[in-house]
Amino acid sequence: QKEVEQNSGPLSVPEGAIASLNCTYSDRGSQSFFWYRQYSGKSPELIMSIYSNGDKEDGRFTAQLNKASQYVSLLIRDSQPSDSATYLCAVGSSGGSYIPTFGRGTSLIVHP
Amino acid sequence: DAGVIQSPRHEVTEMGQEVTLRCKPISGHDYLFWYRQTMMRGLELLIYFNNNVPIDDSGMPEDRFSAKMPNASFSTLKIQPSEPRDSAVYFCASAGVSGYTFGSGTRLTVV
């Protein structure tokens, strides 16, 4: 059974701070990793994808991957109240297909 | 492109009734997925199709659930008979070379 684990939170950070969201996964052969943002009552939307070890930056978002430790994280710099949402980690199967396994998500609250 | 279109957005039904959820994937996407999301269990994959063919339905909770994809532009998820524990948000998603996109979801309440 492939598992993706996230702390459910909520993670509360002040506006302007760095929010750090973490995720571990069980399938050592996984090759693709994704972060989705889900606002309350809305559908998940893809914000970051990462495929190789190291960091990938996109604006205020940085995804970090460590395959040896089976760990992926998302950093949000200069957090804004509009970043308040649930962040879902998703891990692609080792077969390389489109089929991700989702974590249950971490709730992030950015307070002014 | 209008994205993945689901209907209805909200459905309230009585226990024992049949419920049909509908999905129109993004044109050109060759994968279609049905998910269920609850607070307790998170986002669960129920079934997925590739080129209209069901590939893996191991996530379908029981025989009361069935899904079809008669053509590349339409899929249904049916629950018969419905039970209160089926209350959840059901998402359809489609995937292709342009990426993986979720629909807006159907919030199902079974009373």
pLDDT given for residue B85 in this prediction: 96
A69-87: per-residue pLDDT in tens?
A: 999 999 999 999 999 999 9
pLDDT given for residue B87 in this prediction: 97
pLDDT band at residue B1, thresholds of 50, 70 and 90? low
CA B46 to CA B76: how far, in whole Å? 12
**A99 touching B (Cβ < 8 Å):** yes
**B102 touching A (Cβ < 8 Å):** yes
Residue (of B80, B100, B104) closest to B90 by Cα position: B104
CA B86 to CA A69: how far, in whole Å? 37
Residue (of A92, A46, A98) closest to B95 by Cα position: A98
Q: Can you tell me whether residue B84 is helix, strand or coil?
A: helix
Among the partner residues B41, B100, B104, nearest to A98 by beta-carbon distance: B100
Lowest-confidence range among A2-6, A53-57, B51-55, B85-89?
A: A2-6
pLDDT given for residue A1 in this prediction: 67
A27-45: per-residue pLDDT in tens?
A: 898 888 999 999 999 999 9
Among the partner residues B99, B104, B105, nearest to A46 by beta-carbon distance: B99
* pLDDT of A60 higher than 60: yes
* pLDDT of A48 higher than 70: yes
Say if the Cβ atoms of B103 and A43 lie within 8 Å: yes
A30 backbone dihedrals φ, ψ, rounded to 5°: -60, 140
Nearest CA in chain A to B48: A99
* pLDDT of A92 higher than 90: no
**A98 touching B (Cβ < 8 Å):** yes
Residue (of A107, A68, A71) closest to A91 by Cα position: A71
**B20 touching A (Cβ < 8 Å):** no
A13-23: per-residue pLDDT in tens?
A: 999 999 999 99
For the beta carbon of residue A1, count every other beta carbon within 10 angstroms.
5
Which residues of chain B have a CB within 8 Å of the CB of A10?
Answer: none
pLDDT band at residue B16, thresholds of 50, 70 and 90? very high
- Structure tokens of B21? 């959820």
Say if the Cβ atoms of B42 and A104 lie within 8 Å: yes
What DSSP designation does B62 have?
S
pLDDT given for residue B100 in this prediction: 83
* pLDDT of A95 higher than 70: no
For the beta carbon of residue A53, count every other beta carbon within 10 angstroms.
11
B45 Cβ neighbours under 8 A, 6+ residues apart:
A99, A101, A102, B33, B34, B35, B56, B59
pLDDT band at residue B99, thresholds of 50, 70 and 90? confident
Which residues of chain A have a CB within 8 Å of the CB of B102?
Answer: 43-45
